[in-house]
Structure 1
């Protein structure tokens, strides 16, 4: 027996698919997988079949025609074609997770295309598709033109390709803005945007922080925020959460040692930072706040507010580096406004530099 891939269009009417499959069955053709693509011209049926070794392409074409199929495309298939389309798509998405730069190759594999041509940003190209070409926006910049002489692309395939591009875009959003920071004492930290997958690490950060550090962060006697509240911090509806991570040289594991939140409402933001006790007074809070304020400026926020206890001398010293205005006092609580236009704190000391 031999594997073949068949694609044919039939009228999108009840019973027409069964007529085509019956015609193939009469020639001892075993259908291993089938997908149906709905188009304006009818239902495009995509088959992976096992046919007798003696059967030729011409005989398969004749069987399709007798089954009321038209615009038939027939080609030999490889064993890897036995994987169904969802499995293939998931495998390609997993490949992107491990190697985000392989989007072009993944699109070629997903669509069984001849090639994917990348064009730089600035080239005026409309995304969409016709029978032989599909153009997709590369999240990293530019566009991909995927070429397949036959069979013609379908709306379902375009939707699948767009979904794979969105996976690539999500991965890019996760990796963009990652910065290696070298502290004055030589320690290296990774600063990146938080995700929902960081819940365990942030929970551990709170457990490793003293009650005083947690009280100064949340301004209450709260032992530790609930998981539901931590999830809201990790993926805020409006705003940004950054994490600082340190790699344990003994185990190679990354540990969250600081978290900075900027929650936005309208054109104002509210910032807060928690640094694990053994990492305090090493410039980490300054490095995180600087990046929060850069994001605030890019997001057109007018100002960022920070609420600090009047006795929190270290936090007040850090905030003053950013040119805060007069503080509003409510008992032992100070509310300070950080102007987002001043992205670089005016200080001769550089407690943390990007590596």
Structure 2
């Protein structure tokens, strides 16, 4: 028996797939995996099959045509083709997570490309039957070529998902850095994860009650809520780490194109530029994510935090009782974006 890849288009009507599979079965062709791609021309059925050794490419094409398949493509397949498409895509995503520079090779493997070219000038992502253009999150664009079979919308969507993963990995890498303080101390600035819950709990324990209450007016969050804050959907939380101890956190919670920042710096590390450095990195991330505005809610008596915000060119504040709402400029955002900042009466949290 021999492995083959077979792709053909059939009418997207009940029973037409069974006609094609029956035609293959009559020739003792065993179907190992099947995918269906919906297109305007009909349903594109993609098979991995095990066929008798005596069967030729011409025999397979004839079986497909008798099964009402058209625009058929037949090619010998390797043993690794036995992995189904979701498993294959996950394996490539795992490779990309370990080597973010392998995007071109990952796209080639995902799409069975004939050739992948990178160009320094970017363009909008699009595809035709033989060519797919994909904007590189790091700049430029990939041009993916395949002589046959024709690209499908499902394959384009998979490639776009891989690009989104690559962009997220690049943003995470960009936010990791070493911060050298005037005192000579070095801090590692990196994205937080749910595994950091206990480290942040210990940070809370070392902070004074005043610092904790400024950050959490409603009380320190539960472990479940804290884990959500450490990996916010559509946002970012950064940690400042010294000798394996978290000494500060900064969180950006996004909703649409608006976001709110919150900051917590351990007492012993305040007034040393840590908060300013963290907020600058959050604003850079906000600019790359095309957010329009970032606000910070801060108690009116938190003079240290207000000084930090003024160093970041904070816009005039709005007051609601003892709380101030300060709008921070986002790199690259329109100057009018601050007019649509989130309402200070419905904050996600506080900065302190």
Query: TM exceeds 0.5?
Result: yes
The 5 Å alignment of 1:215-226 reads: 215-218=213-216, 222=219, 224-226=220-222
| Pair 259,87 (structure 1): closer, same or farther in 2 beyond 3 Å | same
The corresponding residue for 1:143 is 141
Q: CA RMSD in A?
A: 3.9
Asked if the contact 2:237/2:252 (under 8 Å) is kept, the reply is yes
Shift of 1:258: 0.4
- Choose from 220, 229, 246 the match for 2:242: 246
Asked if the contact 2:29/2:50 (under 8 Å) is kept, the reply is yes
Task: Say which one has the larger Rg.
Answer: 1
Q: Which runs of 5+ in 1 are unaligned?
A: 249-254, 342-355
Q: What's the TM-score once normalised by structure 2's chain length?
A: 0.76
The corresponding residue for 2:174 is 176
| Pair 305,15 (structure 1): closer, same or farther in 2 beyond 3 Å | closer
C-alpha distance in 2 between matches for 1:154 and 1:59? 25
C-alpha distance in 2 between matches for 1:267 and 1:24? 52
The corresponding residue for 2:36 is 36
C-alpha distance in 1 between matches for 2:25 and 2:70? 18
Give CA-to-partner distance per residue, 1:94-118, whole Å, 9 cap, x none. 1111111211111110111112111
Pair 1:273-2:263 in alignment: yes
The corresponding residue for 1:260 is 250
C-alpha distance in 2 between matches for 1:128 and 1:308? 50
| Pair 73,281 (structure 1): closer, same or farther in 2 beyond 3 Å | same
SS of 1:73's equivalent in the other structure is strand
Shift of 1:75: 0.9
Shift of 1:3: 0.9
| Pair 103,185 (structure 1): closer, same or farther in 2 beyond 3 Å | same
| Pair 206,150 (structure 1): closer, same or farther in 2 beyond 3 Å | same
Q: What's the TM-score once normalised by structure 1's chain length?
A: 0.76
The corresponding residue for 2:78 is 78
C-alpha distance in 2 between matches for 1:34 and 1:267? 40
Is 78-87 or 260-269 further displaced after alignment? 260-269
Asked if the contact 2:175/2:191 (under 8 Å) is kept, the reply is yes
Is 47-56 or 280-289 further displaced after alignment? 280-289
Q: Which runs of 5+ in 2 are unaligned?
A: 331-352
The corresponding residue for 1:57 is 57
Shift of 1:308: 5.5
C-alpha distance in 1 between matches for 2:235 and 2:75? 52
C-alpha distance in 1 between matches for 2:53 and 2:235? 62
| Pair 340,106 (structure 1): closer, same or farther in 2 beyond 3 Å | closer
Shift of 1:325: 10
C-alpha distance in 2 between matches for 1:339 and 1:67? 64
The corresponding residue for 1:351 is none
